[in-house]
Amino acid sequence: MIDTVIFDMDGLLVDSEPLWGVAMQEVFATVGVNLSPELTHLTTGLRTKEVVSYWHNYYKWEGKSAEQVVNEIIDSVIHKIIAEGHPMEGLSYILQYFREKGFKMGLASSSPLRLINAVLEHLKIKDAFQAVYSAEFEEYGKPHPAVYLACAKALGSDPLDCIAFEDSVTGMTAAKAARMTTVVVPEAHNRHDPRYALANMKLDSLLEFNDAKLSLLMK
């Protein structure tokens, strides 16, 4: 019986993906790496250290360690989210919807925990979740299912009883690998990616989710 919902964060609950893109472009530029928006989209859903490792292996810059670049990106994103981060359309609605249904609620993100906490404080939604997990502390990040499995375990839920909400192909793959029923809410520019066919349901907005949609997932 499905009784648990686990949310991704970036790009799903908070409009942070553009801010991640700008932060990465600015910090990578300090080591002579110029990333276009198209290139930053290639690593959406990965942990920050994996993104930096990916580009460091490709460009092999000098002057700053990969760890320093990781920390500068995270610091920049936190600053930008606090200054201009907005909740995604339907955030309050979807949290209230599942709260009223009596669902256990968790968050499973690729972002480091200090950034997750900054976002939850900024949006004033920290109390909505009974478990908050970062892939930062897992051996493998998304698309590996580890962070979803850890969050489900903390909630005392069988993965088969969980609905996962995601916005990226990487995150969707992680949730499906965890054997969770998966709902995707992709960014508009990415909505027609055929890989989203793997999800159990695709929405244009969190506001589209309702009792009829929940009934379809529970069949």
- Active site amino acids: 8, 10
Cβ atoms of residues 155 and 4 within 8 Å = yes
Q: Which two tokens stand for residue 23?
A: 């932060």
What amino acid is encoded at 57 in this protein? N
Which residues make Cβ contacts (< 8 Å) with residue 124, sequence separation at least 6? none
- CA distances 74 to 69, 71, 118, Å, are 9, 5, 11
User: In angstroms, rounded to a whole number, what is the distance separating the alpha carbons of residues 101 and 98?
Assistant: 5
